[in-house]
Amino acid sequence: MTVREQLPAGQRSSGPGSTIGGGVTTPPPMARRRTTGSWRSRLEIAVLTGPALVVFLLFVIFPVVAAAYYGFFRWAGYGVPNQFVGLQNYVTIVQDPTFIAALGHNAVIVVLSLVLQGPIAILLALLLNRKMRGQTLIRVLIFIPYVISEVVVGTGWSLILQTTGALNSALQNMGLGALRVDWLANPDVAIWTLMGIITWKYVGFAVILFLAGLQGIPEELTEAASIDGASFWQIQRRITLPLLGPTLRIWAFLSVIGALQLFDLVYIIWGQYVASTAGTSTMATYLVVNGRNAGSYGYGNAVAVVLFLISLIVALVYQRFVLRRDTEGALTGKGR
């Protein structure tokens, strides 16, 4: 007779999780372990994500909510706002031709950033991806402008590009005085000057990003295509660029968002007055000039909300129609 058979009928257990004695149910050992593991994993998630969530709420969500609140007031930046104006600040923004011009400048910068930086970065990345002498040094030299502070870059270029600056002096000394122009104040030239500076500074980031993407392309594919008789450019067009697509789309997204929020270089080089007349003002410089510098902090907060909404809409649309295939492939393990 087994031990179980020797127990009284009311105390016999039919297995894990069965009733013993006076009707008390004991959970099976596996269930207890699963419950303990579940609470432990939840605690780990809370401990690991809690600080990041607090920082995100404190430095991202709260400022956006506060800006939206102050945007409904005429506020001088101190004290409790009490002059409620409703949507008047936002109406003034969309009716201000200066803001519309700044929005147009941002749009031009977005397009030109993609058109200029993209091809240059791809060509440099393809070149530096091949074994060559001085490869590391060239990579470092290309990336250096990206890590230099915007204040240093802006100050240096503003001195070089002045009417009596180094560039015009060099052109004069080389007998090319006819090419001397006002690189900063001429509306026909200033936007291209800005794009040249932006390209010089940020193309290194794109090159490094593309090089990282090229490292993930299997060499067997290019070797097989080469054996089949494909030329170098055919390999790049048919194999390399399609496989580099996810990296290109991520870079384009970062470039677009950065161009929409461009401020420091424009403000340092052109200042708050020349930027609007030279055709290089942006929404961010408009915010500072007409908000903080004018003492209209309520209006400045409204401009900040508009800038945030424009960036958010662009990011969501880009995510929905451009990055969707990449993100779905990353989450499900397969792309469409």
Predicted TM-score (pTM) of this structure? 0.81
pLDDT computed for residue 222 by the predictor? 84
Q: Which structural domain, as residue segments, surrounds residue 214?
A: 90-333
59 found inside a domain: no
pLDDT computed for residue 233 by the predictor? 85
18 found inside a domain: no
50 found inside a domain: no
pLDDT computed for residue 3 by the predictor? 46
pLDDT values of the chain reduced to their tens digit, one per residue, 336 residues: 554 555 455 444 445 555 545 555 555 556 555 666 678 888 888 888 889 999 999 998 899 999 999 999 998 888 888 889 889 999 999 999 999 999 999 999 999 999 999 999 999 999 888 888 888 888 899 999 999 999 999 999 999 999 888 999 999 999 888 888 989 988 899 999 999 999 999 999 999 999 999 988 888 888 888 888 888 888 888 888 889 989 999 999 999 999 999 999 999 999 877 777 888 899 999 999 998 888 899 999 999 999 999 999 999 999 988 888 776 655 445 444
pLDDT computed for residue 271 by the predictor? 83
33 found inside a domain: no
118 found inside a domain: yes
Rounding to the nearest 10 degrees, give the CA dihedral for residues 148, 153, 155, 158.
Answer: 170
22 found inside a domain: no
pLDDT computed for residue 131 by the predictor? 81
Total count of domains within the chain = 1
pLDDT computed for residue 335 by the predictor? 44
126 found inside a domain: yes
pLDDT computed for residue 75 by the predictor? 87
196 found inside a domain: yes
CATH at 166: 1.10.3720.10
